[in-house]
Amino acid sequence: MESILVLMHVEPDGTLGKPALEALTAARAFKQFLAGSTLASGLVGADAGGAARQIGSCGAERFLAVAGEAYGVPRYATDAAAAEALVRASGATLVVAASTSRWARCLAGVAQRLDGRIDTHITGAAVSGGKPVVSRWYYRQRMEAVLQRTHRPWFLLTDVGCHEPWKGEAADVEVQSVQAGTASRTRFAEYRAPQAGEQTIRPDAELLFVAGAGWTKKQADGKVHHEEAADLILNFVRKTQSSLGSSKSLVDLSGEGQAVLPFLSHLNQVGQTGSTPRHPKGLATCCHGEEPHVVGWRFIHERRAINLDANCGWAQGKADVLYVADAFEVMRRLNEKL
């Protein structure tokens, strides 16, 4: 009989964020299909009252909280102490948490303290043969594995964007306060965003727009058109609020200090040595669609590409639709329509 605990940290405004609500969906899926299992929620934050009310109707039998000023900020020592205390208090055998920077940083250590095991990058939670099973991808998203473990407690970090965030009515619940240590030599100073300037990476966008190195190549008139390329790309991304991805070739050019698209950095790179974003749709432009790039499109549901070359990689079964066309021309017209 599994005792399930979903760990959630409270955001600075006192609510639970989308990743926490996604982890709750995963935990509820276990509870629904594991006969005789119980579900407890474990909240960590400066004040957990509002967050407990927010998920009051989620079906958890117990609402446990480690609350206080010390737990309102991200810090290994206090986050780990809170998580450890919540696992002990709940007697959890399965611990589910979203892969936020806070939990991803400390839960491996907590698993170690409790002689547990941890699996990360979980993309699916299910039950098979009466046992919990989880899925995750290996080798840069090329192979999907389904895992089971007999060892308990079993910690699971769910990747963000893989489960629907839980939705339901707020309800008053009784919150059981759990004590944890606050000792730490680390003082939280402030949040610093990694990216300066305009934000172009939007994980929640409907569309991923990928720019490839073709934007910087000589065009039919024998000239390069960097400035127009930058205008077309940024205009489109602003108008559609899409997320901007790039091929490696293009960000490498930018990194060499050449006067190419200066708003691109390695953070935008999609692919084997870049990111594997999750968006319902993707549009690749001036990008050849080679395997090391396309492997980063694993979780893009509908894929389209614009390329002058009818034999580019996208045409080899990698895109749903390939427009054999000049991307400058297409994007110019598309931006006019937008």
Ligand X SMILES: Cc1cc2nc3c(=O)[nH]c(=O)nc-3n(C[C@H](O)[C@H](O)[C@H](O)COP(=O)(O)OP(=O)(O)OC[C@H]3O[C@@H](n4cnc5c(N)ncnc54)[C@H](O)[C@@H]3O)c2cc1C
Question: What is the contact surface with ligand X in residues (CB under 6 A)?
Answer: 212-214, 217, 219, 247-250, 269-274, 286-288, 290, 292-293, 296, 306-309, 312, 326-328
Identify any residues that bridge with 322 across adjacent strands, giving them in sequence order. 305
Comparing CB distances to ligand X, the nearer of 293 and 318 is 293
Residue 8: φ, ψ to 5°: -140, 130
Smallest gap from Cβ 217 to ligand X, in A, equals 5
Smallest gap from Cβ 219 to ligand X, in A, equals 6
Comparing CB distances to ligand X, the nearer of 38 and 272 is 272
Smallest gap from Cβ 300 to ligand X, in A, equals 14
Smallest gap from Cβ 309 to ligand X, in A, equals 4
Q: Is 156 within 8 Å of 133 (Cβ atoms)?
A: no
Comparing CB distances to ligand X, the nearer of 37 and 307 is 307
Residue 4: φ, ψ to 5°: -100, 135
Smallest gap from Cβ 11 to ligand X, in A, equals 32
Smallest gap from Cβ 275 to ligand X, in A, equals 8
Comparing CB distances to ligand X, the nearer of 249 and 335 is 249
Comparing CB distances to ligand X, the nearer of 42 and 245 is 245
Residue the block writes with tokens 């390695």: 266
Comparing CB distances to ligand X, the nearer of 57 and 235 is 235
d(CA 69, CA 49): 13
Helical (H) or strand (E) element with 127: strand 124-128
d(CA 16, CA 20): 6
* CB neighbour list of residue 331: distance below 8 Å, 6 or more residues apart: 232, 233, 236, 285, 306
Identify any residues that bridge with 131 across adjacent strands, giving them in sequence order. 128
> How far from chain centre, in Å, is Cα 88?
28
